[in-house]
Chain A
Amino acid sequence: MNLTVNWNIIAPILVIQLILLITALVSLYKTSATRGPKWMWIPIIIFVSIFGPVLYFVIGRKDA
């Protein structure tokens, strides 16, 4: 596999995903109650790209 990747093109996608991920983690840290155990959301947010953080924002918090 040697895909010629132009990092200038890909970088913005990675940056946006990173911001999304960090925002979700900050929110998770601050929130008082989550649906399901709090630690469970950490791998979901980190490893499921895009949809992990979105899922957390939509159904993760109890006091929306």
Chain B
Amino acid sequence: MALLQVDRLSKIYQQHHAVQDISFSVEEGQCVALLGPNGAGKTTTINMLTGLIQPTSGGIHLYQQGTKVEDRRPYMGYLPQMPSFYSWMSGREFVCYAGQLHGLTRKEAEQRAAEWLQRVGLEEASRRKIGGYSGGMKQRLGFAQALIHRPKLLILDEPVSALDPVGRRDVLNLLRELQQETTILFSTHVLHDAEEICDQIIMMRDGRVAIQGQLDDIRDRYSEPVITVVAGNASNPQVKAWMTEISRKPYVLRSELQRESMTLTVSDLELAEREIWKDAMQHRIFIRRFEAGQSTLEDLFLKVVQS
């Protein structure tokens, strides 16, 4: 069942098309990563989803038990990239305030604030002023204030990119836990983070969706046979000539030549491997390393980003 449906969403700032005509849907219980390089339009998309900025055109619909809701905000929790708070409040006070803004009574809010602060590991600091919190603590406080009303959809903008390795690990673990409880949509520019916890990705580039779908599907669909060859003795002028010759063979779809190595995307792995070895022997080329395999998601990501 679709929880969130985004329909031909666009945002235009004067001449600049920040987001162009993107459509996707998020199923209940999924974890979706909005992946893309900086400036791809991820934050703009998220700001439109949370209702903080108005789209130029297109629609965003959230469904609650099959029916479209008028106001999405009660069902969503949001954590911006660099959350800032009232520095004069204590962590507890802020989370409690957030809960009350979501319509909880003071008592409920206080109780749940205590629960969430404990869960994100802030109970000891909860009575201190937020002004003295570190970046990682603010991030965790941001989680608590976004989750206090048990949202159907949790939206996070680059939740791990500003954290140190330990903080990153903590947040990813927390996200993995939360996945059992709610639907998550988060943006990131690090593929690895998306792969680690998500089942679905939406890859964005220049304000458009480049690729979207189930992670496994994408891996299958887009992975191609790849051969990497490292030739020895790079000073030998014959090596260069040989590599250029190989890259023009019919079984090579795309090639990338460096000084002493080449990466080839081929049509048939077995055939290509045989041919290359044969050719190398004929030309007396010394091959230092030969690697045949499938392209990874990382390769795909880089291709999307750089193309």
Contacts and interface: CB of A to CB of B under 8 A. Distances in A.
B17 to A, nearest CB: 37
A32 B87 CA distance: 10
Interface in B129-187: 131-132
Interface in B46-91: 87-88
Interface string A18-44: 000000000000001000000000000
A32 B132 CA distance: 8
Nearest to B87: A63
A23 to B, nearest CB: 16
Interface residues of A, number: 2
Nearest to A63: B87
Nearest to A33: B131
B133 to A, nearest CB: 11
Contacts of B132: 32
Contacts of A63: 87-88, 131
Interface in A6-63: 32, 63
Interface in B77-122: 87-88
A32 B128 CA distance: 14
A63 B132 CA distance: 11
A3 B12 CA distance: 72
Contacts of B131: 32, 63
Contacts of A32: 131-132
A38 B136 CA distance: 27
Nearest to B88: A63
B274 to A, nearest CB: 68
Nearest to A31: B131
Contacts of B88: 63
A32 to B, nearest CB: 6
A29 to B, nearest CB: 14
A63 B85 CA distance: 11
A63 to B, nearest CB: 4
A63 B86 CA distance: 9
A63 B87 CA distance: 7
Nearest to B130: A63
Nearest to B132: A32
A25 to B, nearest CB: 18
A32 B131 CA distance: 8
A63 B88 CA distance: 8
B61 to A, nearest CB: 39
Contacts of B87: 63
B245 to A, nearest CB: 65
Most chain A beta-carbon neighbours within 10 Å: one of B88, B131, B132: B131
B32 to A, nearest CB: 35
A12 B88 CA distance: 32
A32 B88 CA distance: 11
B85 to A, nearest CB: 10
A60 to B, nearest CB: 15
B25 to A, nearest CB: 41
A63 B130 CA distance: 11
B111 to A, nearest CB: 29
Nearest to B84: A63
5 contacts: A32-B131, A32-B132, A63-B87, A63-B88, A63-B131
Of all A-B residue pairs in the complex, the 5 with the closest CB atoms, nearest first, are: A63-B87, A32-B131, A63-B131, A32-B132, A63-B88
